Amino acid sequence: MYPVFAAVVGTVFICLIFQNIISEKPADDYPMMPDAPNPPEKVSAHLYFANRENSFLTAEEHVFICSDDPGILGSAVINALIKGSDKGLLRTIPEGTELRAFYVSENGIAYPDFTEALTKNHPGGTESELMTIYSVVNSLILNIPEIRAVKFLIGGKEALTLAGNIDLRFPFAADMLLIK
């Protein structure tokens, strides 16, 4: 009885396999897979870091993923400034500083909102404050056409100064005189 049962089960199993092979669709009947999406476009931008003497700003080229939203590109620019130079220039934003938020108003004013570490860890001095401010301002305005001025926020609030020297109550325009 066992050999007969095994033969019947084996025959049914083989019939199912052949039926599955015969009933499969030819390859031409399957829908085509869509083409792989194009890789995101990239845009080159000049970020401004301080020279070794911390007396003027020098451009360093960076590449970012292109975005129609100035807020996304602006955030990427600020985060790259926070990270520091790839070519040995001096960082202008103190270590430990983070970008809390970034937005651009309809009238073209960018509002980077930094953590309190920007003021707490800042070395101070007029020249150092100028390098920090214009590193951010020039990097944003000269690379993102929608931005025409930059107003600094620290901890979600308007700040009076970074370290006691430069008034931050008003938006800043680019200053090409600090770039060499």
- Which conformational region is residue 79 in: left (phi greater than 0), alpha (psi within -120 to 50 degrees), or beta? alpha
Cβ atoms of 124 and 85 closer than 8 Å: no
pLDDT digits 0-9 by tens, 6-16: 555 555 555 55
C-beta atoms surrounding 45 within 10 Å: 20
- Phi, psi angle pair for 90, to nearest 5°: -75, 140
Q: Per mean pLDDT, which range of 24-28, 59-63, 138-142 is the poorest?
A: 24-28
Sequence spans of domains, the chain:
42-178
- CA separation for the pair 97, 136 (Å, rounded): 13
pLDDT digits 0-9 by tens, 97-142: 999 999 999 999 999 999 999 999 999 999 999 999 999 999 999 9
Assigned token pair, 34: 């869509």
Query: Can you name the residues that pair with 93 across neighbouring β-strands?
Result: none
58, 82, 78, 97 alpha-carbon torsion, rounded to 10°: -130
Cβ atoms of 161 and 124 closer than 8 Å: no
